[in-house]
Amino acid sequence: MTHVVVDPVTRIEGHLRIEAEVEEGAVRDAWSSSTMFRGIEIILRGRDPRDAWVFTQRICGVCTTVHAIASIRAVENAIGATPPTNARLLRNLIMASQMVHDHVVHFYHLHALDWVDLVNALSADPEATSKLAQSISTWPKSSASYFSETKKRLEQFVQRGQLGPFANAYWGHPAYRLPPEANLLAVSHYLEALDWQRDFARIHAVLGGKNPHLQSFLVGGMATPVDLDSQAAINAGSIAQMRQLVAGARDFVTRVYLPDLLAIASFYPEWTGYGKGVGSYLVYGEYPDADGANAPLFLPSGVIRDGNLGAVLDFDPSRVSEYVTHSWYEYAGGDGVGLHPFEGETKPNYTGPQPPYERLHTDGKYSWLKSPRYDGRPMEVGPLSRMLVAYARGHARVRELVDATLAKLGVGPAALFSTLGRVAARGIETQVLVEKLDDWLDQLADNMGRGELAIHDNSKWDPSTWPADATGAGFHEAPRGALGHWVHIRDGAIANYQCVVPSTWNAGPRDAGGQRGPYEEALLGTPVADPEQPLEILRTVHSFDPCMACGVHVVDGRRRELARVRAA
Amino acid sequence: MERARESMAEESPFAAELARRGVSRREFLHFCGVVATVLALPRSAIAKIAAAIESGEKPTLVWLEFQDCAGNTESFLRAGRPTAADIVLDLLSVDYHETIMAAAGHRAEQALARVVEEKRGAYLAIVEGSIPTGAGGAYCTIGGRSALEIAREVCGGAAATIAIGTCASFGGIPAAAPNPTGALSVADAVPGLRTLIHLPACPANGENLAALVVHYLTYGRWPALDSLRRPLFAYGKSIHDGCERRGHYDAGQYVEQWGDPAHRKGYCLYKMGCKGPVTYQNCPAIGWNQGTNWPIGCGHPCVGCAEPNFWDRMTPFYAHLAGIPGFGVHSNLDRIGLGATAGVAAAFAAQGLLKIAQRRAVHGARRHEEPAGPPAGGEGGES
């Protein structure tokens, strides 16, 4: 038995540590630990709820829109504000473009190097690479001379002797299985995606002033005026600019990302058999297609238990609870119970080893993440969950793409419940959303053409219009999965604020009953050829797209008198 | 002419690299010109910048992330002037950066240790995120070591440290009241660093980091800094002074309600809570995402994100200050504009102190560390 520690887990957002027991070339047990804590929910107490989105947005600079969205929805739910149609459409555009941007960056810049051997690309024949590229896509940058240039550049980079971020990695590891030509193709697209992501993020500058940390959200609507006759508002020119950016994104996703994904996956069929995880999936749903509460959602909500796609259950927020049995917090009523977020209660209680340390006390508390459970069960959230629920609920485009992907890879539906299934689901979701963006742009343009210019529900902006005591919940599907914010507002100020976050669901530790979290469960059985080079562990963990800063949160359930916020 | 360019390309590996990237000599010099403009340098500096970039040696950079959100990393990846920003990336050997590096675990730690051992006194360190001091350092550990221990070792051995973003520069959001983890800025966590430069903002604009690095490579020294250690080329002027809506402020034309005709016309956001008058950064001059837009340009007030303690001093974000001299008066514009700005600064400082006092009362003894709440322009109050 070998004890493997991977810390830091790199190519993620935030600070994640994996400890694993490896025996006979495979993971026998695993522990997932988040090693950073800030306490943003404590910092929110006593503040103006209309400011909360700016604070929660800083939970994460990668998924830079998601905590802002969940926050304004939670506060709107509490005070009864209703964003007008234009605000809903602007938000849909922001959310979906974030998803597309995030997924592409994850595939190329965070995940690809687990499958792609950069150094092996130096052995590639540019002619053969060109043939491979042209056999899988019509993307125009596919000539032998193009790949020859990339290869030359790579050679010079390596020859200079300063490998920078690519130094000391696992090049040559036996688990790398792509032929040199596929490696060179992927490296070329790694570089192209770096340029593409920079360009596509400009859609967020149009809609939100800047990226990262867009600055156009408002409780009750959006701060981005729409007016065809103004140069200081979204006008016909901005719509055209966004159409251009969306067209570029659609082209890149359709002709580069998806073909690359399928090509790479085809060399790793065994990874449809690893990384299954807990097998239960939770989705809140996203992209309202109408205004107001209970609007139909473009991607539906639902709960799948034990892989049963035949019986999707409705999501019921009251069934969410969080445990701290193995988390560095304590509950007043004992650490063996789970608490609903509205009853949430947390007091940091670090019982781990004092740094510097070699091993965590995995029998006791070992993470800054709590353990969220639904009906007492661990649930996986994220693209795979969303695509499974959409598939089971009969979403036509999702069904078409999932079936086509399975057919191309020559595998059955069971292959979805795996490390590679997560990678494929993320790509399918990107395709579905990049196709949808134009619809929302059309609707926005139509509204503007009709002279509908409202962007904000002003009736609830003044805190004097709010109830003295109000609670609200805001749900969102972030790139990494189901995200919920719960807020309690008293006398115009935040009395309690809680976030239950995708990476908490996925990366959380064991609960009171000893049930592992999804990362921990998914790692069981993952092969490890060389414990000194745990490349395979990275594959499964990265397939979830960890976002650790998001995952760590703390709430303080103790009630106390709060200063009234003095707003203008 | 054509031949001269070809022979240059043969002689200079850098020129060859530019050619491979499809960047012409003219585009490269244009980039150098843009850098010179951002830095407010004379045109004569363009050739020097180009020469410095071409000289070839890649200095080593390590990028540490502590209590952060990776927003500054993302911002750096968005740095524009498209192909040229890539060149700036290639100018440096980024030997440690958790968000992008291929190696993980022990091998990643080895890469960092190697730089600290072998390049002592010669490498650059960038720090993103604040550094917690509570719970014996357990609020942020990497490879089992506390952020504080890592920061002391790595920044202590660096030729220079750049604190990127408001968290590393001033403590930022983790240090906002009641600072549950005892979070500190780099300056407070690792006092006495020889060279420390702040690039605050939430996040910092990636272009400013690029310009800072090029300045260093060009002149072998760092640019002039203000009293908060911020480069004057990026933080020398208030948002208000460079704002495209300044004319509306001076003319007394204000947005009164979200989505009203004044909002649609792009009038001044002062009454909606804009903190531009007391915030120093070059957003209006260089914009964001390749100059596509900036927050005020899209209709939302500035939140003051480049200033110390902005999470406490600038909140509530949507509150404007009453009793500003010259507010809404059309006559004698220059004098009133000036007076109003000074008045705003004083009022903001007073409000910051008031808010912190309120929150102390709210949070009472739960606090680990409390921000001292310095007046506007103060530094080091995060501890």
Residue B194 contacts residue B149 (beta carbons within 8 Å)? no
Cα–Cα distance, A538 to B106 (Å, whole number) = 13
A11 Rama sector, left if φ>0, alpha if ψ -120 to 50, beta otherwise = left
A291 Cβ contact partners less than 8 Å away, ≥ 6 residues apart = A82, A83, A84, A85, A88
Cα–Cα distance, A403 to A391 (Å, whole number) = 10
B213 Rama sector, left if φ>0, alpha if ψ -120 to 50, beta otherwise = alpha
Cα–Cα distance, A306 to A324 (Å, whole number) = 24
In chain A, % helix, strand, coil (3-state, to 5) comes to 45, 15, 40
Q: Is the pLDDT of residue A239 over 80?
A: yes
Residue identified by tokens 């959001």 is B173
Q: What is the mean pLDDT of chain A?
A: 94
Question: Given A50, A62, A211, which is nearest B289 (Cβ)?
Answer: A211
Domain contains B14: no
Cα–Cα distance, B163 to B130 (Å, whole number) = 9
Cα–Cα distance, A490 to A562 (Å, whole number) = 8
Q: Which of B184, B219, B235 is the last residue of a domain?
A: B235
Q: Is the pLDDT of residue B329 over 60?
A: no
CB contact under 8 A, A355 and B288: no
Return the pLDDT at B210: 83
Cα–Cα distance, A419 to B173 (Å, whole number) = 35
Q: Which chain A residue shows the shortest CA-CA distance from B114?
A: A168
* Least confident piece of the model among A185-189, B40-44, B136-140: B40-44
CB contact under 8 A, A43 and B265: no
Return the pLDDT at A93: 98
Return the pLDDT at B53: 57
Domain contains B283: yes
Return the pLDDT at B213: 83
Cα–Cα distance, A538 to B349 (Å, whole number) = 48
Cα–Cα distance, B229 to A76 (Å, whole number) = 40
Task: Note if the bond before B375 is cis, omega within 30 degrees.
Answer: no
Return the pLDDT at B52: 56
Express each pLDDT in B342-376 by its tens digit. 555 555 555 444 444 444 443 433 333 333 333 33
Q: Is the pLDDT of residue A208 over 60?
A: yes
Among B207, B377, B368, B215, CA closest to B306:
B377
Task: With H, G, I as helix, E, B as strand and everything else as coil, classify residue A483.
Answer: strand
My answer on whether B251 and B299 are in the same domain is yes
My answer on whether B228 and B264 are in the same domain is no
Task: Spell A289-323 as b/e; 16+ CB within 10 A means b.
Answer: eeeeeeeebbbbbbbbbebeeeebbebeeeebbbb
Express each pLDDT in A10-19 by its tens digit. 999 889 999 9
Average of per-residue pLDDT across A443-459: 97
Q: Does B73 touch chain A (CB under 8 A)?
A: yes
My answer on whether B95 and B199 are in the same domain is yes
Among A105, A99, A67, CA closest to A479:
A99
B225 lies in which domain range?
A: 58-235
My answer on whether B103 and B218 are in the same domain is yes
Return the pLDDT at B328: 40
CA dihedral angle for residue B66, residue B71, residue B73, residue B74, rounded to 10 degrees: 150
Whole-structure pTM value: 0.89
Domain map (residue ranges) of chain A: 2-117+178-551
Cβ contacts (< 8 Å) between B139 and chain A: which residues? Answer: 36-38, 350
In chain B, % helix, strand, coil (3-state, to 5) comes to 50, 10, 40
Return the pLDDT at B5: 37
Cα–Cα distance, B308 to B1 (Å, whole number) = 53
The total domain count for chain B is: 2
CA B354 distance to own-chain centroid = 27
Question: Given A45, A199, A355, which is nearest B144 (Cβ)?
Answer: A355
My answer on whether B316 and B357 are in the same domain is yes
Q: Is the dihedral of CA A506, A510, A513, A518 positive or negative?
A: positive
Return the pLDDT at B56: 57
Mutation for testing the B interface, residue in A19, A38, A194 having most B CBs under 10 Å: A38
Alpha helices in A299-363 (DSSP H): none
Q: Is the dihedral of CA B305, B91, A196, A422 positive or negative?
A: negative
Q: CA of A466 to nearest chain B CA: how many angstroms apart?
A: 17
Domain contains B43: no
Return the pLDDT at B59: 84
The larger pLDDT score, comparing residue B16 to residue B175, is at B175
Backbone phi, psi, residue A21, to 5°: -100, 125
Among A310, A314, A94, A101, CA closest to A214:
A94
My answer on whether B275 and B197 are in the same domain is no
Q: Which chain A residue shows the shortest CA-CA distance from B321?
A: A568
Express each pLDDT in B272-295 by its tens digit. 999 999 999 999 999 999 999 999
Locate A516 and state its tokens. Answer: 């592992």
Q: What is the mean pLDDT of chain B?
A: 79
Return the pLDDT at B17: 58
Return the pLDDT at B211: 85
Domain contains B358: yes
My answer on whether B145 and B285 are in the same domain is no
Residue A533 contacts residue A173 (beta carbons within 8 Å)? yes
CB contact under 8 A, B71 and A218: no
Q: Is the pLDDT of residue B224 over 50?
A: yes
CB contact under 8 A, B362 and A355: no
Domain contains B157: yes
Q: Does B258 touch chain A (CB under 8 A)?
A: yes
Catalytic site includes residue A499: no
Mutation for testing the B interface, residue in A4, A34, A43 having most B CBs under 10 Å: A43
Domain A2-117+178-551 coded CATH 1.10.645.10: yes
A73 Cβ contact partners less than 8 Å away, ≥ 6 residues apart = A472, A474, A475, A476, A485
Return the pLDDT at B301: 98
ipTM (interface pTM): 0.94
Residue in A63, A103, A204, A371 annotated catalytic: A63
DSSP A515: P
Cα–Cα distance, A436 to B142 (Å, whole number) = 40
Express each pLDDT in A354-407 by its tens digit. 999 999 999 999 999 999 999 999 999 999 999 999 999 999 999 999 999 999
Q: Is the pLDDT of residue B300 over 70?
A: yes
Q: CA of B129 to nearest chain A CA: how many angstroms apart?
A: 10
Average of per-residue pLDDT across A303-320: 96
Residues 120-159 in B contacting A (C-alpha not used; CB under 8 Å): 132, 135-146, 149
Q: Is the pLDDT of residue A217 over 60?
A: yes
Return the pLDDT at B89: 52
Average of per-residue pLDDT across B37-53: 61
My answer on whether B88 and B133 are in the same domain is yes
Return the pLDDT at A548: 84
Cβ contacts (< 8 Å) between B282 and chain A: which residues? Answer: none
CB contact under 8 A, A230 and B144: no
Q: CA of B280 to nearest chain A CA: how many angstroms apart?
A: 17
Cα–Cα distance, A406 to A413 (Å, whole number) = 7
Q: Considering all CA atoms of chain A, what is the largest pairwise distance in Å, rounded to the nearest integer?
A: 72
Please report which confidence band the pLDDT of residue B381 belongs to, taking 50, 70 and 90 as the band edges. very low
CB contact under 8 A, B78 and A198: yes
Return the pLDDT at A137: 98
Domain contains B256: yes
Express each pLDDT in B108-131 by its tens digit. 999 999 999 999 999 999 999 999
Q: Which chain B residue shows the shortest CA-CA distance from A494?
A: B362
CB contact under 8 A, A43 and B135: no
Q: Helix A85-105 crosses helix A236-252 at what angle (to 10 degrees)?
A: 30
My answer on whether B85 and B138 are in the same domain is yes
Instruction: Please give the interface size between A and B, counted as residue pairs whose CB atoms are below 8 Å apart.
Output: 341
Question: Given A47, A220, A230, which is nearest B315 (Cβ)?
Answer: A47
Cβ contacts (< 8 Å) between A356 and chain B: which residues? Answer: 144-146, 149
Domain contains B23: no
Task: With H, G, I as helix, E, B as strand and everything else as coil, classify residue B100.
Answer: coil
DSSP A93: H
Average of per-residue pLDDT across A95-122: 97
Q: Give the CATH number of the domain where residue B360 resides.
A: 4.10.480.10
Q: In chain A, what is the straight-line distance between the N-terminal and C-terminal CA atoms, in Å?
A: 64
Cβ contacts (< 8 Å) between A558 and chain B: which residues? Answer: none
Q: What is the percent of chain B where pLDDT is above 90?
A: 58
CB contact under 8 A, A8 and B143: yes
User: B351-354: which pairs have CB atoms within 8 A and are 24 or more residues apart?
Assistant: B351/B313, B351/B319, B351/B321, B352/B309, B352/B312, B352/B313, B352/B314, B352/B376
Residue in A480, A485, A510, A542 annotated catalytic: A480
Among B85, B96, B71, B214, CA closest to B153:
B96
CB contact under 8 A, B110 and A168: yes
Q: CA of A387 to nearest chain B CA: how many angstroms apart?
A: 27
Residue in A17, A50, A67, A488 annotated catalytic: A67
- Please give the helix or strand (H or E) that residue A476 lies within, else none: strand A469-478
My answer on whether B83 and B186 are in the same domain is yes
CB contact under 8 A, B264 and A204: no
Please report which confidence band the pLDDT of residue B326 belongs to, taking 50, 70 and 90 as the band edges. very low
Residues 274-333 in B contacting A (C-alpha not used; CB under 8 Å): 287-290, 292-300, 303, 311, 315-320, 322
The larger pLDDT score, comparing residue A450 to residue B57, is at A450
Q: Give the CATH number of the domain where residue B80 resides.
A: 3.40.50.700
Cα–Cα distance, A374 to A255 (Å, whole number) = 38
Question: Given B21, B292, B317, which is nearest A206 (Cβ)?
Answer: B292
CB contact under 8 A, B70 and A14: yes
My answer on whether B160 and B287 are in the same domain is no
CB contact under 8 A, A6 and B104: yes
My answer on whether B86 and B176 are in the same domain is yes
Cβ contacts (< 8 Å) between B258 and chain A: which residues? Answer: 218, 220-221, 223, 455-456, 458, 461
Return the pLDDT at B215: 83
Return the pLDDT at B351: 47
CB contact under 8 A, A59 and B69: yes
Catalytic site includes residue A480: yes
Catalytic site includes residue A550: yes
Domain contains B50: no
CB contact under 8 A, A39 and B181: yes
Residue B133 contacts residue B182 (beta carbons within 8 Å)? yes
A104: number of CA atoms within 13 Å, CB side?
A: 33
A380: number of CA atoms within 13 Å, CB side?
A: 34
Residue in A111, A503, A520, A553 annotated catalytic: A503
Please work out, in degrees rounded to the nearest 5, the angle formed at the alpha carbon of residue A261 by the alpha carbons of A259 and A262: 65
CB contact under 8 A, B273 and A568: yes
